[in-house]
Structure 1
């Protein structure tokens, strides 16, 4: 039995623990302990409460240990309210009733003497004034002594601490930031607030007196009060107050520099604003004592009655030439106006003329035969009649008479029109010379002369008739050729009776030498007004050119343009030769369009009828020579076709100026051929200066357009192009 048990026990072997398994198990436990364990909210609150309770218990134990009485020699060192010796005294302090009464202490600061208790000195440190106990004082002293011993031991074995750095990066950073100068503005320091809507419309005070904004009247009243109240120094103080107020006004006006001229009043306009205004409208002036242009009709010096007529006629805004020329003409200055065609020159010289003659005596029986007060000269009959119609719009409501004298009408009819006299005469130079030679007209009281399209009159050979007319004017009212001619006050006064200084105005598109000669002879210190660039087409006309050789091809191309439907009537087609007008007009009628012609071989009645049918919309197309190139105003011309290119670039400019008038847009199409090589260079230059036109590649690469040709005998003659053919400027 025992043998069996021993054998069974001997068969059980105890395996020794595996060291690697133990290490691995320990690492797993450490890793598991290092991992953060999720604790529910309730568990966290419970642990926090236990921790708080444990801390509170420790705090109470510490307080209890501070106040627990000390036992020395079996005697308790403390006070007890049950002991009669510990009763409070009359001063609220606990006194120990031992020893004589006189030796008892009565204050906190007096030590207890006598008595048989050896613990009085210890009890003296435990006072009732809230100070720390003697035990805590001993702990502080002990810690301080240990710190001193440690410092002495360190100094003995390691030596004294020398060359220790007191550098502190934080202090250095604070000191550097405090002394650093900031070159940038702080947004919080800006109190102007220019973009604040509250301050956007707030008026700027001219002057502040006692904290209130004042006006000129209040400042003046204040200055008067200072003079009355202080007889000695009041005058000086009042003057200083007015000067300060004036400086404030100037500063307030200077703050308007950022505004556009259209947002300023007339008084706030500076020299810079006037310069910008002139640049906006392409106005350039030359001469002395020239007034500023007018910004609107209301700011002009025109009479109210005349402004009402201007409004009734439909002139909403003045054109650039009107803005610049009218203020100058109203000062009785001689004027040379250089402006592109269709710029409103007619009203620019008519309105000052009417103001001028309004100040003269009305025509009566005693002076109606002394001639007109004003004379307007124009190169062609059509332009004369156009000026006459425009002048009657303004003159008839004022009671003035306008008469035209042109060729094509009998002299008897014109003499009959002059029977009752006329304040204004509009004439062509040729027919006017005939009237002067036949004594049908005199200029005894003429004091206002206007020459419209002066360069055209010189080109047509009217230099001699023009000189005769100007020499027939009275010489007693000529202006002096001195600085007095630029003085408005001197030139506006009467010379004696009804006579005034003669005022001469000349409007032209170019200034050839002959025109300059006439201007120098008959104008006195004139003001020169230039609108836009002289010799250039207006920016409202789109210029197109096409190289089409041969009459047949041009007629087919013209038919394609007319049938395209892009252009509405009226349309003007220009040719160079008079006989071609009827041929082209006949072909246009064959295309299904109505057409009329206008050239020098037509009578005056035929010319007037042709223009009237075109203006009234009875006819679609006008075929004309250069006779219609200047001064002809047909409203709303949408297209100008140069069937034949003009002989000069000036004529081309006036031709295409029949469209794009009064601010409206237009198109000009020109057919070119080998016969036009002399003008290709100038044509390329004038098209390249246009903002809305493009020079075609064929014209840009053309050999004749690369350099300006020499003017020899190859220039076209006026006779070959249907030009001036006799007296009166017939075409």
Structure 2
């Protein structure tokens, strides 16, 4: 019995496997290393590398020292140096060449060996001088380190190219066109129509032409220059010997009176030639008409004519200049002066009009007057909140905000779906002055107590109509109801008084300022504006819901998928449009099909739709913006807020389900004052939007309504049945759910 009890029990194999698996999983998890620990490890690594480098130098120095000793021994046997030449008494049998070093390779009769000896001695002397400089503190960086840096840079560049090829695929269809080479090829055969200066037969220094005077008849006094008035007075004096002198003086006096009157009234001058204090009501009316600005609401300030007249702080104006904003856009001219007066604002402007900077700059001025975030208030929430309907638009606003907020020392954090809540909570650990978020994910953070709005005093809703279309009305209401009520503006005329609204409510709190930017004003948006905005000023740029005049709209009746693909190939192969190009479809499964066909045509293409992960969406947009990909095939997910520079062509492979979605689709081109083209394929399934399409094309100054659309039966009257069809993307962008933009 005792032997049985003392026998060792064999280990449980299943328990060992579970333990080993748990250890492997624990080792595979990324370990959070504090900042101080990372700095300590980096310092140890640098110290270790420095010691290894010194050991290598010592080894090389000892090796060079032994070689130098051997060289001096040879010198003792027969090379006695005297000044800059060797003495003839100890000269070896072969003569040492006295010509340049470049000629030593051509020596004869044994001179090669002696030249090599001298070269080696010279190199040893140079190394000995370098070591002496190192001991004295000089020459810290040797040529070996420079070669190592170059080799390291080449290796990093190769690794970057390998990673890009691995994740983004090989670069295809890269143009090898060179305008310089083409000019060289055609220069010899091209006929030159320019005028040869040697063939000029005119005589510009002819005295007859030099003394010729300009005719003075037909000019009014206000149009004459002082020199022309003097010449006219001289003509009057010469033409009448008796009374010419008196008439000339009367003419000069009359000219002076007219000039003084014109300068006093500034008549005949354009508003751009006047000073700000000389601007009259008529000038401001012309200014607004030139930029298509319409305002509504009490006590609205005049627009700004330039950045220098914007009343923005000098430091912020320097940042604007560094970013590259030369001239303000119409919405920026009208909205910034209003927002600087702490007024609530509704901005109605077409897509691509510069709305982001219009609300960011006044926001930064507003929170600059608030106390900086510290330990006692960093957990009370942000000072400003920006809401947008899509993840891509949120990230675009975040990138733009960091350009202005970073130099001022403000923190900007985005909260969107597709990223873990723990990661976003970690980004908020030190507080943030500005938060950019989608409504659904922000509601999740509020419900989980990851965020509060105890001190939020600035709220911006961008693309408000799109948020309502996507079903974000309820999350939007929850967010606005979570704001503090102690700093709400009164719903009286005091809300239009900038002096009262700029004061502090109590302590460090200021009145909450709410701004809403939208492209259209549906009833639900008006309802939210009426509930949460106090006596807002309304700024409209152009006509709400209309396309910009920089986009040429073309429509073609092409029925059937095969015919449309064939027509799309003809358009892409025509060479009229340079990448990037965006192709819009209505449903997600068509995205991959059309992209596959485009790749078969020889073009590179990426897709963007609701089934893509956040990383895939960001990678697709990054490849299009960087020029690695030519064409983006997308649903209405890319219809709003996505800013891809220099898009030359937008193709609606499927017509949008609503005219609002169509407007935002074609707004991806023709941005920032540049021109663009939008081509739309139509079929029998698009009868419900043909009337609105005809109306919006007819209002464009550069587009022409085709005869087939003009005569189409469905384009003669607006359809009576309400609502449009919904796709799996939600009828041109809706139906993506109300949770953090999960679309």
TM-score range relative to shorter protein: 0.5 to 0.7
TM-superposed CA distance for 1:675, in Å, is 0.2
Q: For residue 198 of structure 1, what is the aligned residue in structure 2? A: 226
Q: For residue 37 of structure 1, what is the aligned residue in structure 2? A: none
Contact kept? 2:658, 2:731, Cα under 8 Å = no
What CA distance in whole angstroms lies between the structure 1 residues aligned with 2:503 and 2:259? 37
Q: For residue 660 of structure 1, what is the aligned residue in structure 2? A: 670
Contact kept? 1:724, 1:730, Cα under 8 Å = no
TM-superposed CA distance for 1:197, in Å, is 2.4
The counterpart of 1:323, out of the listed 317, 333, 341, is 333
Q: For residue 449 of structure 1, what is the aligned residue in structure 2? A: 459
Is the aligned partner of 1:670 residue 2:680? yes
What CA distance in whole angstroms lies between the structure 2 residues aligned with 1:478 and 1:686? 40
Q: For residue 498 of structure 1, what is the aligned residue in structure 2? A: 508
Radius of gyration: which is bigger?
Answer: 1
Is the aligned partner of 1:310 residue 2:320? yes
The counterpart of 1:533, out of the listed 540, 543, 561, is 543
SS at match of 1:267: helix
Contact kept? 2:441, 2:741, Cα under 8 Å = no
Consecutive unaligned residues of structure 1, counting only runs of 5 or more, are 1-187, 203-247
Equivalent runs, 1:573-588 vs 2, <5 Å? 573-588=583-598
Is the aligned partner of 1:622 residue 2:632? yes
1:712–1:481 distance in 2 versus 1, CA, 3 Å: closer
Contact kept? 2:661, 2:733, Cα under 8 Å = no
What CA distance in whole angstroms lies between the structure 1 residues aligned with 2:218 and 2:562? 77
The counterpart of 1:401, out of the listed 408, 411, 416, is 411
1:325–1:689 distance in 2 versus 1, CA, 3 Å: same
Is the aligned partner of 1:729 residue 2:729? no
SS at match of 1:559: helix
Contact kept? 2:687, 2:715, Cα under 8 Å = yes
TM-superposed CA distance for 1:720, in Å, is 6.2
SS at match of 1:409: coil
Contact kept? 1:478, 1:501, Cα under 8 Å = yes
The counterpart of 2:346, out of the listed 336, 344, 348, is 336
1:546–1:310 distance in 2 versus 1, CA, 3 Å: same
Contact kept? 2:382, 2:456, Cα under 8 Å = yes
1:249–1:404 distance in 2 versus 1, CA, 3 Å: farther
The counterpart of 1:385, out of the listed 385, 395, 398, is 395
The counterpart of 2:278, out of the listed 268, 277, 295, is 268
TM-superposed CA distance for 1:714, in Å, is 5.7
What CA distance in whole angstroms lies between the structure 2 residues aligned with 1:505 and 1:327? 13
TM-superposed CA distance for 1:199, in Å, is 6.4
- CA offsets per residue over residues 429-475 of structure 1, 9 Å max, x none? 00000000000000000000000000000000000000000000000
Is the aligned partner of 1:295 residue 2:305? yes
- CA offsets per residue over residues 266-306 of structure 1, 9 Å max, x none? 01000000000000000000001100000000111000000
What CA distance in whole angstroms lies between the structure 2 residues aligned with 1:705 and 1:259? 46
TM-superposed CA distance for 1:258, in Å, is 1.4
- Structure 1 or 2: larger helix share? 2
TM-superposed CA distance for 1:723, in Å, is 4.0
SS at match of 1:568: coil
Contact kept? 2:470, 2:736, Cα under 8 Å = no
Q: For residue 612 of structure 2, what is the aligned residue in structure 1? A: 602
What CA distance in whole angstroms lies between the structure 1 residues aligned with 2:311 and 2:260? 27
- CA offsets per residue over residues 7-39 of structure 1, 9 Å max, x none? xxxxxxxxxxxxxxxxxxxxxxxxxxxxxxxxx
Is the aligned partner of 1:711 residue 2:721? yes
Q: For residue 507 of structure 1, what is the aligned residue in structure 2? A: 517
Contact kept? 2:655, 2:686, Cα under 8 Å = yes
Aligned length: 500
SS at match of 1:369: helix
Consecutive unaligned residues of structure 2, counting only runs of 5 or more, are 1-215, 231-257
- CA offsets per residue over residues 624-683 of structure 1, 9 Å max, x none? 000000000000000000000000000000000000000000000000000000000110
SS at match of 1:298: helix
TM-score by length of 2: 0.65
1:308–1:651 distance in 2 versus 1, CA, 3 Å: same
SS at match of 2:295: strand
What CA distance in whole angstroms lies between the structure 2 residues aligned with 1:281 and 1:514? 29
Contact kept? 1:363, 1:421, Cα under 8 Å = yes
1:190–1:603 distance in 2 versus 1, CA, 3 Å: closer
SS at match of 2:276: coil
Contact kept? 2:388, 2:467, Cα under 8 Å = yes
RMSD: 2.1
TM-superposed CA distance for 1:730, in Å, is 3.1
Is the aligned partner of 1:361 residue 2:371? yes
SS at match of 1:257: coil
Is the aligned partner of 1:562 residue 2:572? yes
What CA distance in whole angstroms lies between the structure 2 residues aligned with 1:354 and 1:275? 30
TM-superposed CA distance for 1:496, in Å, is 1.7
What CA distance in whole angstroms lies between the structure 1 residues aligned with 2:734 and 2:466? 12
SS at match of 1:529: strand
What CA distance in whole angstroms lies between the structure 1 residues aligned with 2:217 and 2:554? 61
**After the TM superposition, which of the residue ranges 507-516 and 344-353 deviates more from structure 2?**
507-516
Q: For residue 415 of structure 1, what is the aligned residue in structure 2? A: 425
What CA distance in whole angstroms lies between the structure 2 residues aligned with 1:199 and 1:287? 49
What CA distance in whole angstroms lies between the structure 2 residues aligned with 1:533 and 1:714? 23
TM-superposed CA distance for 1:497, in Å, is 1.4
SS at match of 1:413: helix
Contact kept? 1:570, 1:617, Cα under 8 Å = yes
TM-superposed CA distance for 1:383, in Å, is 0.2
